[in-house]
Amino acid sequence: MRKRSVATGIAAIAVLAGSLAACSSSGTSGTSVTDKVQSGKKLVVGIKFDQPGLGKKNPDGTFSGFDVDVAKYIAKQLGANDASITFKEAKSADRETFLEHGDVDFIVATYSITDARKQKVDFAGPYFVAHQDLLVKSDNTTITGPESLSGNKKLCSVKGSTSAQKVKDNYAKGVQLQEYGTYSDCVDALISGAVDAVTTDDTILAGYAAQHPGQLRVVGKGFSDENYGVGLKKGSTDLKAQIDTAIRKMESDGAWQASLEKNLGPAGYKIPSPPAITE
């Protein structure tokens, strides 16, 4: 009787150890994402839902934009088709947390590679370089660059973004920075007159300006380099290498250029060359 209970105990421990091992391999490390794809499980990819031309959830439930195309291309290279991707909205302030908690497998969401973020997450890429800029009302003649914001101008940016951080670090004096949750909320505030300008990457601003022709315009004096990376859970060495390979392929087979022309071209954005992959 006693022997049997010991054996049962050992069996229970073995089962527990097995399920713990299964747990750790179902995280978001390189091998597990490949395992996930091979076993037909859905990939969860973080994108923006409100940035036209980059990451947008359309009224019919479909998703479009350059980041969406990059995400789909990567997924395909990993062996997953479009139907096996679940897109999850990753607002600027949520990105590191989503990756750290394993809520997403990877993130393609105008996500700049920075040393501060690299303390918490890994990046593949970069796959694009954008520049921080300003969006104003078309008839505004006083805001010509970040320096012209002093004089208590109300400036909107987003929590957890490099854009808000840069204003705090370099242009805080005399500027009233308001941090919202999303850039589309900032754009609404600009249209209503609650703020004087919106700041973030020129790619994002170009998309909003194109939605409001004659009403909003991008100032066009980029004042940073934003290297967009694919965000990964820290320690995803294999997955990072696979994603870098996928990005190189997308750039060399013309899909990268075609997606940019389709998604940013109509907004008048000048398509740059792809950056060197450094991560």
- In the complex with ligand GLU, which residue's Cβ is closer, 202 or 244? 202
Q: How far lies 177's CA from each of 77, 193, 265, in Å?
A: 41, 15, 30
Phi, psi of 204 (to 5 degrees): -65, -45
Distance, in Å, from the CA atom of 141 to the CA atom of 137, rounded to the nearest integer, reads 9
Within 183-202, the residues that bind ligand GLU by CB under 6 A are 200-201
Report the relative pairing of strands 43-47 and 106-107 from DSSP bridges.
parallel
**CA-CA distances (angstroms) from residue 81 to 37, 68, 74, 86, 171?**
9, 13, 10, 11, 44
Contact flag: residue 203 with ligand GLU (CB under 6 A) = no
Is there binding between residue 162 and ligand GLU (CB under 6 A)?
Answer: yes
Site string for ligand GLU, 89-128 (x = CB under 6 A): ---x----------------xxxx----------------
Rounded least distance, CB 111 to ligand GLU, Å: 5
Assess 158 for contact with ligand GLU (CB under 6 A): yes
Distance CA 97, CA 101 (A): 6
CB of 92 to ligand GLU, least distance (A): 4
**Does position 259 bind ligand GLU by CB under 6 A?**
no
Q: Report the nearest approach of ligand GLU to the CB of residue 71 (Å).
A: 14
Question: CA 93, 95, 98 angle in degrees (round to 5)?
Answer: 120
Binding site for ligand GLU (CB under 6 A): 92, 109-112, 158, 161-163, 200-201, 226
